Amino acid sequence: MGNMLYGHSNAVTGPLILGQILKEAGYDVSVYEELYKDIDYSKINDVDFYCIYTMTSNATRAYFLADKLHEETKARVIIGGMHATVMPEEALIHADQIVIGEAETVILDIVEGKITDKIVHANYLKNLDDAPFPDYSMLKTPCECANVMTTRGCPFSCSFCSTSRMFYPYRERSINSVIDELKSYKDAGFKYVNFEDDNFTANKERVKEICRRMIAEGLVFNETFFFGRIDLAKDVEMLELLQKAGITRVLIGIESLNQESLDLINKHQNVSDIERCAETLSRYKIRLIASIVLGIDTDDKNDLKRSIDFAKKINAYQLQPAILTPFPGTPLYEQYERENRIISKDWEYFDMMHVNFLPKKMTSWELQKQFLIANWRFYSFFSAFKIGKRFGINFGLRRLGLWFLTRIATLAALFSATFIKGTQLYKLKHMKDKLYGEEK
C-alpha cells in the first residue's frame, strides 16, 4: 500500500533489457518483480536458466531463492546486479555463475555456454543505443509505470552512492533512441513514466531537446518522474520545458543543511543553492521529493531537525529520509570497515531504513529514532490540505494516506523495538553501544 501511495508500480529495467536480448535470440523469457506480487515459484519450474538481480537489501532474499531453485529444479542460476558486482565471491556460493557489471555484452554467451567462467567480468556498454528497449510484454507482475534510462552513471561521486560505482563511466543515449522508446510506451498504453537516470538533468541542453521532442510529438504522460540535483533550478528555460513536457515530479538529494556535512560526503552543493532550488521548483509546480541523509558524522540531532523543518517550510511534496548506509563497494563502506564501525552485515537491513553502523554524534538507536521522528513530523494531517491546494485533490489524498501509514508504521516499529526480541529494531534499542570514538 505504501508503494501505491508513494508512486506507481514499476519494474527494474535491467532484467527487461537482458530478457529482450535473449528473446531476440529465440529464447522464451518471462520476467517477475516480487515487490508488487507474491510469486509461486513452484509454477515456474520448466526452466533452463534463472537470472536473479541483486541490490544489497534484497541479496539475502536472492540467495534464498537461488538455493531453493537449486534444490527443486535442475536449472542453472545466474546472479548479477549491484550487490553481486561488489561481492561476487559471496554471491557465487549460491549461484552457478556471477556477472560483474553490465550484462548486455555477455548474457547471450553465458546462456549459450560460450562463457563458462564462474565469475564473469562484463565490459560496460560503450554505446547505449546498442541496448534494446525493455519489453514489458515479458513482465508477468503488475506494472503501471515504464522506466526509461537515458544515461548510465553520474558525473558526481558521492561517498555513499553505490550506483555510480557500477554504472561507470557516465554515458548518454542518443535523443532519437530515447524518443523512440517513449513512443513505444505511449503506443503500449502507459500513462506514467520514470526517468531512472541517476541525474537526468546533468546535461541540461540535452534535457531541453528531449522535452521539446516530447511536447512536439505528443509524448506527454500523466506523470513523469526524474532524479535531479539542485543546480537544475538555475536554468529557467529547462524548468519551463520540464513543466510543459509533464516531467513534474523530482527527487533531489538535499541530504543536509549542514555545509560541513555536504562537503564530507562530496556532494558539491551548498545550503543557499538548496533554498533557492526549493523556491524555484515551487513556482513551476514541479513537485519536490526531498531526500535527506540521517547519520552523517558531522550532523547532530539539531541538524536533522533543521532539515525536516526545512522540507516542511518549502512544502516539499514528499520526504525521503534515508539512514546513511555503508553499501559494499563504496568509499563509506571501506572507511567504516577500517574504523570497525559496521555493527551488522545482515544485508536485508541495508535498506536505508535501518542503522548498520556506529554514528559519531548519537547512539545507533538514537539515530534509528530520528528516522522514525522524521516521517512522523513531516507527514502531518494538515499538510495534506496544503499539498491538495497546491497540486490538486488527488495529491492531497495521497499525502493523507502517507500521513496515516507513517503513524501506523512508526507505532509498529516502536512496539517491535520495545517488545519483540530477535527483531533488528529490538537489537538496536537494547545494544550496549556508545558513540563512535568514545572509550569502551
Q: Are 146 and 196 in contact (CB under 8 A)?
A: no
Residue 2 pLDDT > 60, yes or no? no
Residue with cell 502531518: 380
Which three cell numbers, joined as nine digits, stand for 57?
A: 537489501
Per-residue model confidence (pLDDT) at position 263:
86
Residue 314 identity (one-letter amino acid): I
Residue 40: how many other CB atoms lie within 10 Å: 7
Contact 254, 311 (CB under 8 A): yes
The mean pLDDT value for 59-63 works out to: 98
**What residues contact residue 104 under an 8 Å CB cut-off, 6+ apart?**
17, 18, 21, 122, 125, 130, 131
Query: pLDDT for 244-259, tens place per residue?
Result: 999 999 999 988 988 8
Task: Tell whether the model's pLDDT for residue 437 goes beyond 80.
Answer: no
Q: What is the pLDDT of residue 408?
A: 97
Mean pLDDT of 98-127: 97
pLDDT score of 141? 95
Cα(154)–Cα(163) distance, integer angstroms: 8
Would the pLDDT of 227 be above 90? yes
pLDDT (0 to 100) of residue 306: 92
- At residue 30, the pLDDT reads 97
Cell 563502506 belongs to residue? 333
Pairing of strands 145-148, 49-54: unpaired
Q: Is 438 left (phi over 0), alpha (psi -120 to 50) or beta?
A: beta
Q: Dihedrals φ, ψ of 285, to 5°?
A: 55, 30
pLDDT value at residue 440 = 47
Q: Please tell me the pTM assigned to this model.
A: 0.93
Is residue 350 within 8 A of residue 336, CB to CB? The reply is no
CB 292 within 8 A of CB 307: yes
Residues of the chain with pLDDT > 90, as a percent, come to 80
Q: What is the mean pLDDT of residues 394-420?
A: 95
Q: At what angle do helices 301-313 and 271-283 cross, to 10 degrees?
A: 20
Q: What share of the chain is helix, strand, coil (3-state, %, to 5)?
A: 45, 15, 40
Q: Using 50, 70 and 90 to split pLDDT, how confident is the model at 360?
A: very high
Q: What is the rounded CA–CA span in Å between residue 255 and residue 274?
A: 10
Of residues 313 and 342, more confidence is placed in 342
246 SS3 class: coil
- The residue-averaged pLDDT of 336-342 equals 96
Cell numbers placing 359? 554514528
Nearest to 300 by CA among 256, 357, 344: 256
Give 177-225 pLDDT, tens digit per residue: 999 999 999 999 999 999 999 999 999 999 999 999 999 999 999 999 9
pLDDT at position 307? 92
Of the chain, the end-to-end C-alpha distance in Å amounts to 43
Q: How far apart are CA 344 and CA 194, in angstroms?
A: 33
| Whole-number CA gyration radius for the chain | 22
Residue 200 confidence (pLDDT): 96
**All three cell numbers of 163:** 550506483
The mean pLDDT value of the chain amounts to 93
Backbone angles phi, psi at 223, to 5 degrees: -155, 135
- Between 5-19, 294-308, 401-415, the lowest mean confidence (pLDDT) is in 5-19
Binning pLDDT at 50, 70 and 90, where does residue 264 land? confident
Please give the single-letter amino acid code of residue 271.
Answer: V
| 3 pLDDT above the threshold of 60 | no
The CA-atom distances, in angstroms, between 100 and each of 14, 68, 115, 347 are 13, 23, 13, 18
Give the DSSP H/E element, type plus range, for residue 51: strand 49-54
Tell me how far apart the alpha carbons of residues 52 and 45 are, in angstroms, rounded to a whole number.
Answer: 15
In the predicted model, is pLDDT for residue 59 greater than 80? yes
Domains in the chain and their CATH numbers?
Answer: 13-121 (3.40.50.280), 144-426 (3.80.30.20)
Task: Give DSSP secondary structure letters for 103-132.
Answer: GGGTHHHHHTTS---SEEEPPP-S-GGGSP
What's the CA gap between 200 and 245, in Å, rounded? 14
* Dist CA 348 CA 7 (whole Å): 22
Q: What is the pLDDT of residue 291?
A: 94
Q: What is the pLDDT averaged over residues 402-408?
A: 96
In this predicted structure, the answer to whether residue 276 has a pLDDT above a threshold of 90 is: no
C-alpha cell read off for 433: 553501544
Residue 81 has what pLDDT? 96
Interatomic CA distance for residues 268 and 257, integer angstroms? 13
Cell of 2: 505504501
Residues in the chain: 440
Query: In the structure, what pLDDT confidence band is assigned to residue 345 with cuts at 50, 70 and 90?
Result: very high
Per the structure block, which three cell numbers stand in for 254? Answer: 538535499
Q: 295: helix, coil or strand?
A: coil
**Torsion sign over Cα 147, 150, 153, 158:** negative
